[in-house]
Amino acid sequence: MSSVFDSFLDRPAWSALTGPQAALAQGSPQAWRIDPAYGPFAAAAPGQDLALAALLRDAEDEIWLIEDDGIAAPGTVVRKVAHLVQMIASGPVDAAASDDIVALGEADVPAMTALALANRPGPWGPSTWRYGPFYGVRHEGRLIAMAGERLRPAPGIVEVSGVCSDPAFRGQGLAGRLIRHVMAGHRARGLASFLHSYADNAGAIALYRSLGFDVRRERVVTILGKAGHD
């Protein structure tokens, strides 16, 4: 499907780092990465893949590129390549039952980090929660599910991200309710929503479709590390 955001969503990290989230960008006009505390997303200007290696700080560091195809940049080694679908939703959102949904903040970072690392909804850093509002559900005081937002490629659209649930509480509709809550917040701010899913995650894609998302196009995520260190 096409939208007014197509030119920005084609290269979401580049659009965010040279646009609404430029304050978080590190690097040079040839290649930018987001502040590593927020995550590993990066992108190079057209024809400037050679500059990507300079973004990597050490042997343990990695950058994630979301593009049309995989990238093999000089001075780097490909650690992983995976296919994604990029999905977008801009229509009305049915209100989610939200009595047990709470806003998460700095005091919740240890619990958010533990949940993210246990479920791997995507890359997570110490400041990932600062991208924008995150919401969660607790059970007997313990955080069992959360969702929030991440990249802002253009004014008017923001990515839903960090969606995960404790395995012991899956199948209760928590992820769907939290995504709807995040989306409702976007609409209240005049924003459309988009997200990425691994292309082979049929269950997640079916959930996102049920919430009003449509596949916009396929993407490829490439994870790069420093050459000579793997």
pLDDT tens digits, one per residue of 150-176: 999 999 999 999 999 999 999 999 999
In this structure, are strands 157-165 and 214-226 parallel, antiparallel, or unpaired? unpaired
Which pLDDT value is given to residue 230? 54
Decide if 6-85+219-226 and 87-217 have a common fold: yes
Summary mean pLDDT of the chain: 95
**Structural domain spans, the chain:** 6-85+219-226, 87-217
Residues 200, 226: Cα–Cα separation, whole Å? 28
pTM of the model: 0.93
* Cβ-Cβ contacts under 8 Å for 72 (sequence gap 6 or more): 78
Which among 87, 59, 80, 164 has a CA at the least distance from the CA of 122? 164
Tell me: the pLDDT tens digits for 6-36? 999 999 999 999 999 999 999 999 999 999 9
Single-letter amino acid, residue 154: A
The yes-or-no verdict on residue 1 having pLDDT over 80 is no
Q: Is 140 helix (H, G, I), strand (E, B) or coil?
A: coil
CATH number of 87-217: 3.40.630.30
Tell me: the pLDDT tens digits for 70-90? 999 999 999 999 999 999 998
Which architecture does CATH list for 6-85+219-226?
3-Layer(aba) Sandwich (3.40)
